[in-house]
Amino acid sequence: MNRNWLHILRRTTQIFFILLIILAPALDILRIDTDTRSLIVFGHEWSIGLKEGFSVDPSLENASHVAWRFFLKALLPWIIVLSVFPILGALTGRFFCGWFCPEGALFELFDFLTVKIFGRRSLLGKKPNDPGISAQNRAPYVILALLCMIAIPFLMGVALTGYFVNPRTIWGQIMNWEFTFGVKTGIIGVSIYIFISAMIVRHTLCKYVCGAGLMQMLFGWASPLSVRIKTDPAKLAACTDCKGCEKVCFMNVKPRLLRKDINCVNCGECISACKKELGEEKAIFSFSQTRHCGLPGKEITKRPDDDSSLDLNKPMRNGHYEKTCS
Ligand code: SF4
Ligand code: SF4
């Protein structure tokens, strides 16, 4: 798959998931109706069906029926919901973060705009993996950034409040520009959170705060099966040290290091960058389920034209690496 296809596929999955998160309450796919105090799942009220409980029939048979329904309708859904991210992490590492997470996609959008305006990803200062391009022709990006700063937090505020208040009620209040306390609090609270996280915190939130990310990180780190980026040591001699793979990495990972980096979200941008530099055949990275790192043995740690050991925990120096992988 060439550079654009991997990149386009990822952007498509991100847009699809953002639309799903925004439209789920409006389409009654998932929301809580605070008026009726019920959970709506795919247009139906999710009920344990035990309103009358034991009072109707206190027999042993009915007691086991009540217990079974409680397990199926109350406990099992929570077990499934809570196990989604550990299972995803064990099988795919942080793939969800890189390919689906709406907040991650939003942070990437603001990274893009900040790079175009200031020539670096963060508003707070330069990072080691910044693309290093000079900011030019800023005006259209400044206008776009201002629009995004206003519209996106508000839109997300409305969309996420819709999980707790009927979206039709919210829409009616927006049309009349008259809000109940709950709707106003929901929209303003979510808007402030989205604004601060997208402007200032960004991927630091993914690394240290997000519960879903941390679960994927932990289970992905421990699992021998989880997908990760593999560096092919046999191809390292072709590396031109262009640093393209590092500059595209918004998680500030150095993909050429052979140790696992728990912050990698398996976005595949480094694969694309290396393919662009070296071509499809010589590109160094690929998705893999290798247990530790890409180095299977010591022989292969020697570069063909160089007797030095490879140390991929250090930047490339004088055209070669040092180190072996444990
Ligand atoms: S190392 Fe590669 S796959 Fe991992 S986050 Fe960075 S660019 Fe994405
Ligand atoms: S993109 Fe490929 S060639 Fe360029 S520094 Fe990374 S590994 Fe080397």
- Cα separation, 131 vs 115, whole angstroms: 8
Q: Strands of 30-33's sheet, edge to edge?
A: 30-33, 38-41, 44-46
pLDDT tens profile 161-211: 999 999 999 999 999 999 999 999 999 999 999 999 999 999 999 999 999
pLDDT tens profile 217-246: 999 989 988 998 988 888 888 999 999 999
320, β-bridge pairs: 317
Give me the pLDDT at residue 71, please: 81
- Cα separation, 244 vs 322, whole angstroms: 20
**pLDDT, greater one: 217 or 298:** 217
Give me the pLDDT at residue 136, please: 72
Ligand 1 binding pocket mutation candidate from 3, 100, 267 (most atoms within 8 A of CB): 267
How far, in Å, is the centroid of ligand 1 from the Cα of 284? 13
How far, in Å, is the centroid of ligand 2 from the Cα of 239? 5
**pLDDT, greater one: 218 or 304:** 218
DSSP string, 248-274: T-TT---TTSSS--TT-----HHHHHH
The CA angle 295-241-292, to the nearest 5 degrees, is: 20
- Cα separation, 203 vs 107, whole angstroms: 7
How far, in Å, is the centroid of ligand 1 from the Cα of 151? 29
Can you tell me which atom of ligand 2 is nearest the CA of 256? 7
Q: Which has the closest alpha carbon to 24: 159, 203, 179? A: 159
Burial 256-283 (b: 16+ CB within 10 A, else e): bbbebebbbbbbbbbbbbbbbbbeeeeb
Q: Which residues line ligand 1 (CB under 6 A)?
A: 98, 229, 248-249, 251, 253, 255, 264-270
Q: Which residues line ligand 2 (CB under 6 A)?
A: 239-245, 256, 273-274, 277-278, 284
Q: Give the best-scoring range by mean pLDDT among 44-48, 72-76, 97-101.
A: 97-101
Q: Which has the closest alpha carbon to 160: 45, 19, 21? A: 21
DSSP string, 159-174: HHHTTTS-HHHHHHHH
**Nearest ligand (C-alpha, residue 321):** 2
How far, in Å, is the centroid of ligand 2 from the Cα of 102? 29
Give me the pLDDT at residue 52, please: 56
- Cα separation, 273 vs 316, whole angstroms: 17
- Cα separation, 17 vs 42, whole angstroms: 17
